[in-house]
Each structure stands twice: as C-alpha cells, then as structure tokens.
Amino acid sequence: SQTIHQWPATLVQPVGSPLSLECTVEGTSNPNLYWYRQAAGRGLQLLFYSVGIGQISSEVPQNLSASRPQDRQFILSSKKLLLSDSGFYLCAWNSGVGSNQPQHFGDGTRLSIL
C-alpha cells in the first residue's frame, strides 16, 4: 500500500534562517506531489505542485521554493525565513495516472518562526 512521510513533525526556527522540509511517498510511481500551508484554524492553501521530476508549479508568490529531485521526493525550502512563514505545512500525493484521483495527505510539519 502507499504511504507518505513528512519530517520533521515540528520545527522551531529563527527569522532569517534557512528551511528544508522533506516529503517522500512509498508504494507508487510517478505520483503528483503537493505542498500546502494551513494557518491556525484556517483552510488549506496550495503552495506548489509537481507532476514529475524537476517539474514545479508555483501557486502563490512567496518566500518559499520547492524541488523534486527524485520521483517520490518533494522538498520545500527557503533561504531566509520570515515570521509570516509560520504555519502547518502539509504534503500530499495522488496518482498521476488518469484524472480525478483524490489526494492523500501526510501528517504535516508545524513550523514556528521566532
């Protein structure tokens, strides 16, 4: 069966420091991969998605970037974190075969910027 892993689960970083959050999927090939951010008590905002290695679509202008160095690996990065980057970051995947495939989420990373 397919599984998705995100780490770390929680992270506290100072303003201006770099960021690297990692997400990996197991048990499937060529998935679509997604990064979302969720502010406290709010809905999910799509940040980036990828339909293949090296292919990244950015949804909103921001201080973050994403990369997909391997088929089942998706990385969210920043060179210099801002206070406004605090939030709950979720990775998700769905099958890249066919359309209308539901997305499945990881357990998230709670990022606090001090």
Partner 1 sequence: GQQLNQSPQSMFIQEGEDVSMNCTSSSIFNTWLWYKQDPGEGPVLLIALYKAGELTSNGRLTAQFGITRKDSFLNISASIPSDVGIYFCAGQLPYNTDKLIFGTGTRLQVFP
CB nearer to partner 1: pick between 26 and 59: 59
CB nearer to partner 1: pick between 90 and 113: 90
Sign of the CA dihedral running 40, 38, 25, 2: positive
Q: How far is the CB of 64 from partner 1 (least distance, A)?
A: 15
CB nearer to partner 1: pick between 59 and 114: 59
Binding site for partner 1 (CB under 8 A): 6, 32, 41-46, 49, 51, 59-60, 90, 92, 99-108, 110
